[in-house]
A and B are shown apart, each in its own frame.
Chain A
Amino acid sequence: MEEIQFTINGSFQKITVDGDRALLWVLRTDLGLTGTKYGCGEGLCGACTVLVDDAAVRSCQTAVREIRGKQVVTIEGLAMGKKLHPVQKAFMDHDALQCGYCTPGMILQATAFLRRNPEPSTADIIDAMEYNLCRCGAHNRIVRAIQAAATEMKGGS
């Protein structure tokens, strides 16, 4: 057991845990942040994606020890108060989801990507999202939503 301090969705957090445990389960069970989903347990599907210091990270493959001193953002912390993040809003506006289970991971993957590449081509978006899986087949709308979010964010959001 060890003490680990980090920031979660803007708030300081101190927990005492076995540092080898996967961030995914610490988020879901210890912190009650269930928006982060289990999908495959091997980093293959992206449903568990969260932001760690603005980078998209597979929380099922991340030991909680690795986030010491870092800023973690989950889907619950992406909106600014009541104002949705442009990527969230674009997913709603484009119906870019069906069952919604892969959606938090998709949104956080896209958010991290747009921070690095604010003016992406369609091919860039497809590359960035390639390892996030959706079974319902919302892919084309997800791509359009990310394009729309990029445009919106460029406008100074």
Chain B
Amino acid sequence: MARVRGFGAFLWDFVVGDDWRSAVGVAVALGVTAVAAGAGVAAWWIMPVAAVGLLGASVWRAMG
């Protein structure tokens, strides 16, 4: 059990890293892009805008 937990912690650290909010933001942005693209709306701009916003927020949080 401890090994499974350890592997889970490693995987979380490897994939999500030290800012889970950015990871959630990326997932949400991908979802919004998929919905917008599915509705036939131009959706290419959503990911760049989200990336800039998420990066700025992440830097801001890191500064405390």
Partners in one complex: no
Q: Which residues of B contact A (CB under 8 A)?
A: none
Residues of A at the B interface (CB closer than 8 Å) are none
